Structure 1
């Protein structure tokens, strides 16, 4: 049967509306058969206010999912296993409004909850290895779908939920408000032995086959809480895209990857990117099978459009990053503990002539109680803030900065900056 009602008497004997407490339990078809439609049917049924996918079941998802969870509870205690039919996902995934990225699952609506039951328990298996091998370290390869896209949502919670082997970014929160994501486990690990061994001498080119496996990206969203996360990946742990405001992040552990990212910003000439009122506390970062390229970094596109369309080309946008408090960060072996680049492109176009053109402003940034070490990859560099002369960075304060560069004297580079306190800028 497609799904069973645990409150059978209620469902059978009386009409069910969205205000009744009907619970619908799904059992997978099994034998490799697609469970996508019965999953969608349960969510769309007015009699199903709570949808249960119990352990130890695995549900085969072979079609894109577009789900409005208005006033629903979705308990994914088992596993949603997304198929490895790459051609299907490349041709059918839903387009988002950012960087021409696509997604396999849309979640929208208000007043809903998604739960995986417990930490590192139920959730998604994106079967990302097929995508990692296909990309072979090539960034932003077209067609890779985001695992879970929360869009036009409000007053919602995702808790105790896991995303294993995400196809691309694990979570993308866009045009949403009052969203809490807590108790989240993300693990993107390459198991293909064809991946080259890390070689810092050549910039590790091509050796990171779990590139673009961000833990979470926020965009055009307000009042977001991210709490109690563990992320193992090869890219950003948490990334703030444009118009991410009033975001609080607590107790996040990032293993490998690129740490915490503010950006990229200024990619679209017709959009103004504001990232304001960001608070982060109790963040732990460690290298793993992938290097930890940084603890925190800020990135702005060049001030002119270059290199073709997004995701790898763009620029010419403007904006403001302000009122940011980052405190109690602990990390080891970060290649560049904190840095800002204002001459960004992912295209093959040489944009050095445009490195003085970005008008995106970074101001009122407080970095407090940072303890950690650099890896020595960049010798003694522990802070490298290179701002655009068209938009000097203003009022950055480093309080109780305890970051060392073992074997080197720490180097602090501050270019086109005003009022930087707490570190000896050169």
Structure 2
């Protein structure tokens, strides 16, 4: 059975009245969405995708049902930017993303269009009609999003995005008021995304533009602003794949993974860089929280805060093949901010990471709280011009009560960490006197100052310090800063 839904949206502008229409075409279990900005009268449809083929990488030769039964969900391997043959038949021709389009500030015409139309209703209609045991295809063009979206009830759903999602920024008050709360530290999000057995692929064509410069300028270097929305939050999801999507100028954090299990995020490109006097504060690549079995691989990130951050109650996190620019790089924390609620992080691997001009490289930040950080590996990390490469603190931000923290740090390894630091410090480690660090080890550490001079390390309250594989030339006080302003 074929269903065609048409929406009429009327906007009263200073220049008059604009009438636009758009369609969600449902054919079997497939919904095909056309953006308002592409054309006013486009209607298109494709044949329904059979369930056995729905999650296949059509660029792969392994397309038998048996191929779906092996390996960790999602199956098969991510598409890595390839478009499925003849998917979708495009009724409107637009240019593929090029270097000019991906340059910060170059999407002016698309952002201007966001002030005149709203594609949110038809996007939500597609998820409503095909979000269970179905396929959703967003064809090429610009989708203007002016409202929050909650799509957390999806199941056995494949989402294919070939267009550009642009979040409005002329209605800041709406977003501050209406963004969905995500519990953690008063944060909120523009899009809650979740469900069971869901994959969202962008094939290197999907672009998420948050109009972040407007948010950066109105925030004026403040750290956290209530209501400032995370671009995409995976919320209470299981068996989720996000692959092949580009982010430009996110409103706040690019992504957040919360209360979720078995999430794979691959082949993502993120860049939020300010072109004004104000900094791109708190534009993390991603943060995990209360989640387990998370795989993050093949990312390139330029942002104004942590590149990848593993927060409290995160377990079995594997991060690999990452390139970070201007960021806080690979981080455990922050965690332990609620002294009455323990935070735990277990079994984390960061490996094969390259860093450029970043604040830190491989580090752990906790508040003086309760819980533990256990079994963490930082491996094969190469850096250029990093402010303070290896850093551990038990009292982040405040520099107080550093030795009373009961949040223990144990079994942490730094292996093959190489490159240059901005100043003369390679590592600064301060563990709590009440819960000294245990099982700390270093192997093949080769960090020098960018001018070629040696870099030193300072440490306090580390058990087995003499045999841990790193020579410490002195003590590290509790109030040692996260970022340095010169040699120490």
TM bucket normalised to smaller: 0.7 to 0.9
Q: Distance in 2 between matches of 1:73 and 1:270?
A: 41
Alignment of 1:269-418 (within 5 A): 269-287=339-357, 292-302=358-368, 317-345=369-397, 351-376=398-423, 380-405=424-449, 406=451, 408-418=453-463
| Conservation of the 8 A alpha-carbon contact between 1:3 and 1:24 | no
List runs of 5+ in structure 1 lacking aligned partners. Answer: 12-21, 196-208, 303-316, 346-350
- For 1:309, the equivalent position in structure 2 comes to none
> What is the match of residue 272 of structure 2?
188
- State the alpha-carbon separation in 2 of the partners of residues 64 and 269 from structure 1: 33
RMSD: 1.5
| Native 8 Å contact 2:130 2:157 kept in 1 | no
The one-character-per-residue Cα deviations of 1:9-47 (angstroms, maximum 9, x if unpaired) are xx4xxxxxxxxxx22111122362111111001101148
In the alignment, structure 2 segments of 5+ residues that lack a partner are 1-5, 7-21, 38-112, 474-488
- Per-residue displacement from partner, 1:296-320 (whole Å, max 9, x unpaired)? 1211113xxxxxxxxxxxxxx3111
The residue number in structure 1 matching 2:316 is 246
Deviation at 1:353, TM superposition (A): 4.8
Indicate the residue corresponding to 2:31 in structure 1: 24
Within a 5 Å distance, the mapping from 1:160-309 to structure 2 comes to 160-192=244-276, 194-195=277-278, 209-287=279-357, 292-302=358-368
Residues of 2 paired with 1:366 and 1:215: CA distance?
23
Q: Is the 1:154–1:179 Cα contact (8 Å) retained in structure 2?
A: yes
Match of 1:3 in 2: 23
| 1:366 CA displacement | 0.9
Q: For residues 126 and 361 of structure 2, what CA distance do their matches in structure 1 show?
A: 42
Aligned-pair CA distance for 1:4: 4.2
Cα distance in 1, alignment partners of residues 400 and 238 from structure 2: 43
Instruction: Render the CA deviation track for 1:342-377: whole Å, top value 9, x for unaligned.
Output: 1224xxxxx55522221111110111111111012x
Alignment CA distance shift 1:142-1:35 (3 Å): same
CA distance in 1, matches of 2:26, 2:298: 32
* Deviation digits for residues 61-103 of structure 1 (CA, Å, limit 9, x no counterpart): 0000000322111112111111101100000000111000010
* TM-score with structure 1 setting the length: 0.84
> How many positions carry a matched residue from both structures?
370
Secondary structure of 1:99's match?
Answer: helix
